[in-house]
Amino acid sequence: MVARPVAGSTSTVLPVTLRRLPAVALCTAGLLLASAAPALATSKTDDGDDPGSGLTVIQTLGWFVVLPITLFVVIAILATLPSMSRGPRYRPGLGWWAAPIWFNGPDDADTAVRTATATTGGGGASARW
């Protein structure tokens, strides 16, 4: 049974959502700014810091673009190498040569199939038992 609203009543979902929206937006913005505070810090160095020279464009692209793509490709090749070396199990156009498997069936599947009787008027996918 579906509950129907009473005539003349108004839903409170939209006003509550609109009341919460500024608070959620403000909290989200505050958390983002708080987590970004180290990045927004001034460029002054602490005592004993020796930051050295920055990376060049080529070094930056190498570390943050080329290296991750290379790692991804190497891992993908290593993951698919065993199946690529075995070749496909089933070749389209040929008959299936693997023996049939009856999971959780009787020990002697051939005898069970030969001695089975057809169900009439129920069972199976008809949902009539």
Give 105's contacts (C-beta < 8 A, 6+ positions apart).
Answer: 112
Query: Which has the higher per-residue pLDDT, 69 or 10?
Result: 69
pTM beyond cutoff 0.75 = no
The model's pLDDT over 74-104, given as tens digits with 9 standing for 90+, comes to 999 999 888 877 766 767 787 777 777 778 8
Mean pLDDT for all residues in the chain: 79
Q: Where are the domains of the chain?
A: 56-82
Range picked from 5-19, 29-43, 83-97 for highest mean pLDDT: 29-43
| Residue 2 confidence class, pLDDT cut points 50, 70, 90 | low
